[in-house]
Amino acid sequence: MKIAIVSACSAGIASTYMAAESLELAAKKKGHTVYAETQGTIGIENAISLKDAQLADIVIIARDIKIQGMERFKGRKIIEVGVAEAIRKADLIIERAEKEVIGK
């Protein structure tokens, strides 16, 4: 499964990256391919291209603030969670993503 992740927290200094890393770890543990973009104070890193965005089976948005470039994901299945939730419950969120895609 291809999972696209975008995270952004209010300060953009630490939580954004913890959320991205948590989700990435949880997804890789289950053998998924992951694209994880962070939108923080240092700008956008590991930016997900339109092509990769459209190839994603599911998009996980972990945010406390508005995400830039949501139009890339038009037509994709999207799960939205809070940043704190992403850090604490990454495994559960990935399970939820699997269910959405496989339709279990």
Interacting residues toward other proteins by CB under 8 A: 9-11, 13-18, 20-22, 25, 38, 40-42, 64, 83-84, 87-88, 90
CA atoms of 41 and 8, how far apart (whole Å): 9
Torsional sign, CA 43, 94, 98, 101: negative
Minimum distance of other proteins from residue 64's CB (angstroms): 6
Minimum distance of other proteins from residue 15's CB (angstroms): 6
Torsional sign, CA 103, 9, 37, 92: negative
CB closer to other proteins, 17 vs 35 = 17
Minimum distance of other proteins from residue 75's CB (angstroms): 29
Q: Is 9 noted as a catalytic residue in this protein?
A: yes
CA atoms of 8 and 74, how far apart (whole Å): 19
Catalytic residue among 4, 6, 8, 9: 9
